[in-house]
Structure 1
Amino acid sequence: MSDFYLNNIKYNKEAPDPLSYEYEWVAPGSGKILMTVALPLRKMGDITWMALESLRRQETSVNWELIMFEDGGESREVLDTFVGKLPGCKRILYKSIDPKKDGRVSGRHKGAVLLIDKWIGMALAASNESVGYILHAGDDYAPKRMIDNHFKNLQNKNCIYSTYPRGVFYHYALKKRIFYNGYAFKSHGKDFLTNIHLHNAVRTEDVRKIRPSYSDKERNALIDKYIRVNIYRNRGIDPTENKYIYNVDDIDSTDWMTGFNTDGLNTISYRRKIYNNPEARSAVWSSYNDASKKTIGYCGEFDKNIPKNVYRFISSISKSRKNR
């Protein structure tokens, strides 16, 4: 990186602390910000472009903000190319983290910034008016109406979670695709309405209220469940007694086909084996073929449903990056 920023003031590489700083951009004449897109990053500088490009292609009428917390400022130059070019985005807050300085000061994870710490930190940094909090991932390409669809679901006072129950997964290294079908939970005897799925959003206020217990359970594994359980506990509700999780499919049944999730460059390494025989792993996974397309309702072809520049980008990556 050639330049660093601190409180909107430009510094060079000789800045006192080039790995721990904040940069904020605010659009002139901004209105009330209603949605927050939170993007935590660690060792994803080579693919952050994809996550940001999916935000640049959003079709939205909602004012929103982007908040990024990243170890070591690796994606800062990539972010610079998107500033002022994200439709509806009225504010960008970027925080470069030096774990040794900004991490936990004691306990088992001293000197580390866990994913849950980033989620909570970004929620606390969100605008006061923010209603919805989208948990975006650095290795996912968001559906093009994601922000609007989550905002619409959250207009229902009972909605705590907004989620996409169907999706395509793409493996960078293997160049394979599989389908995720959350509706298959019904056949497992589970209550479909108590499960969250892909490209999730919650209420900003709920994430602000989470307080980590400083146990091993805060690690990245099962982080979605950790957040969900804490939200239910803080609200004092039983998720089986009412409908609290709203599916985007109910208001927009085709948007899921315009985005995708990935594996091979993230921390969920066990999923890499799924691509060889997805049906053997679980009923929610299926191979990318004509039969599965018909079952899940997928129209067209993957390489035609996403922009050409995005497909070229993911096709050019040949190696997985380890230790994310």
Structure 2
Amino acid sequence: MIDAVLPVTGRYSARQFYREARRLEFAARLRLESLETVLASDPEAAWLLVTSVALQAADLALFLERRPLPDDLETARENLQRRNTSKLGEAALRLVSLAGRKGEADPAASAGEAVLAARLFLKQARRAIPALLREKPFRTIDRWLVPLEDNTALAAFILALAAGVAVSFWPVIFPQTNFEKRLDDFRGIKRLLERYRHDNGGYPVTNEFIGLYANGHTASPAWIPGLVPSYTRALPRDPRQDDDPAHQYLYNSDGKDYKLIAHNVEDCEAVKKTRPQLIDPVRDCRAYGIWSSGARGW
């Protein structure tokens, strides 16, 4: 279901497409930095972050090829293997293949190998994404850069300075909307749930809707049982960061099916117009989210 509601690359203007590609690259770089940090302090635990890095790399490679974004490693591998000829796609496929091994031989060594593969991928990304500048409306920028070709050192300095400023201020210049943040969170949680189901034969069972708060009282930051710390260090909160129990992410599962929603959202009417398939059929415009087929009516 997630693929159906995430942005479709064919609907992007050239400017929007370039901006989204840069955002995905930035996200991949942040995940790699997290992996490197954990690898330095706790090599055994670092392997838990490899899947996140690999899926982010697959997102970027497939986005640039105008193909659907995957929900899991298997889908990522299949999509990357299909009609893939780009160096960026090959680098992403190698990283996804490494993640698929699950560090069976030596988790620490495998995580280190994944770091090297991720660095190679980002190196390829730095070459692939600037090609988008040749599309409208970036030709003006191209013409501005042409005089710099005669002064390689000056060009390198200016581009490095611009890149540093962009990385520092990216979240300020291009802040995520609450809706975009929720989609990212839903997608990340879905991946964790699928990994849990693969390992345990079913989704984490609650038999009622639970969130950060339960019955008006603080429940737990690990509000989906079984995911923290085995599958992630922490679960996300609704971007409003509100202490109101009615303004949280809520999860329910009987083990076979699950439902994950953002409750009493402020942007439901807008989402109903642009992404109606996300609207909770039971609560209408009080909630939207994702669910398996058997949980649609919960």
The alignment's TM-score, normalised by the length of structure 2, stands at 0.31
User: Which has the higher relative contact order, 1 or 2, with Cα contacts under 8 A spaced 6 or more apart?
Assistant: 1
Larger Rg: 2
More helix by share: 2
